[in-house]
Amino acid sequence: MEFNKKQGAGVVVGVGSALMDILGHEDHSFVEKAGGVLGGMVYVDGSHIDGLLPSFATPPQLVPGGSACNTVVGVASLGGAGRFVGKTGSGPLGSQLINELKNKNVHPSIILSDQPTGRVLSIVTPDAQRSMLTYLGASSSLEPHEVGEDVFEDASVVLVEGYLLFNRDLITAALSNAKKAGARVCLDLAAFTVVEHARDFLEDLVDKYVDILIANEDEAKAYTGLEDEEAALKKLGEKSEIGVLKVGERGSYILNQGEMTRVEPQCGGRVCDTTGAGDLWASGFLYGLVNGYSMEKAGRIGSACGHEVCQVLGAGIPEEGWRRIKALFD
């Protein structure tokens, strides 16, 4: 894949929900009682999340999050150029999120709202799965006119998180304007529940605007209706230049204009939490692409990022983890 050299110096721009993550450990029964879907995501009111917090055996942690946000933070941590576009509240939580992005060398293109900052309660079960209860808050008030073509003028790649599929007008504006700006457009399908919601118009969006389509097994099955992984991968790459199928501990497959690349998984260490694994995989892969690496090398960096984040709680890889990842391409 070649990039328009007029479009920045490998800038990866993420568009998505500006959220704070609330991370806690509990069992499967807690997820059910909380109204969650094991391994999936459901939307709730902020008061619902607030009411659940005292029920945790150990107080949850609060960290910046959101799928696209996690990805561009990862790109910046690898030494790349990352920018995040989203909307947050004007209160302390919003200020904390913006400051955290700056501290991670991500340029925050944040629009402030009178609504509270959105947050996600991520319940991590003993099998390391994460089930999410999401209150979008201010992030849901991002408007189509706020993601105009000018927003993407410096972008080599624009990553749009699949969660925006719940807002058809917004995701259409983001994808189409990124395309008009000359950027490569990447859509990460985010969660199987999201794909199921958007089945009636998702394929048309991919056909018109998407260059890179990323999915895990559950998302690919929901999108393609196919159980067979090879057939699902082919379907993912049918209307996009690059289709990616992530298969967890078995690695990933990349289909680039009909040519398949198998990427072996990174192994070793106990899986603590899968929060952010897919987001950070995208960090490594997109960083590799904008730097001209082969599909296999970009995929290996993605696998390493996904592996490292599974060793810790939340989507923040510690510095020693980044050093191990960078050793793959330095």
Q: Hey, how many other C-beta atoms are within 10 angstroms of the C-beta on 87?
A: 24
- Six-digit token string for 318: 């510690």
pLDDT tens-digit series, residues 42-67 = 999 999 999 999 999 999 988 888 99
Per-residue pLDDT band at 260 (split at 50, 70, 90): very high
CATH class of 11-18+67-115+142-326: alpha beta
pLDDT tens-digit series, residues 85-99 = 999 999 999 999 999
Q: What is the pLDDT of residue 269?
A: 67
Per-residue pLDDT band at 2 (split at 50, 70, 90): low
Residue 21, CA distances (Å) to 12, 117, 130, 137 in order: 22, 11, 12, 13
Is the predicted pLDDT of residue 135 greater than 90, yes or no? yes
Cα separation, 167 vs 272, whole angstroms? 32
In the chain, the amino acid numbered 48 is: H
pLDDT tens-digit series, residues 172-193 = 999 999 999 999 999 999 889 8
Q: What is the share, in percent, of the chain residues with pLDDT greater than 90? A: 79
Is the predicted pLDDT of residue 4 greater than 50, yes or no? no
Domain boundaries, the chain: 11-18+67-115+142-326
Is the predicted pLDDT of residue 8 greater than 60, yes or no? no
Cα separation, 102 vs 105, whole angstroms? 5
List the one residue out of 11, 54, 63 whose CA is nearest residue 276. 63
Question: Global pTM?
Answer: 0.89
Rounded to an integer, the average pLDDT of 248-262 is 93
Q: What is the pLDDT of residue 6?
A: 45
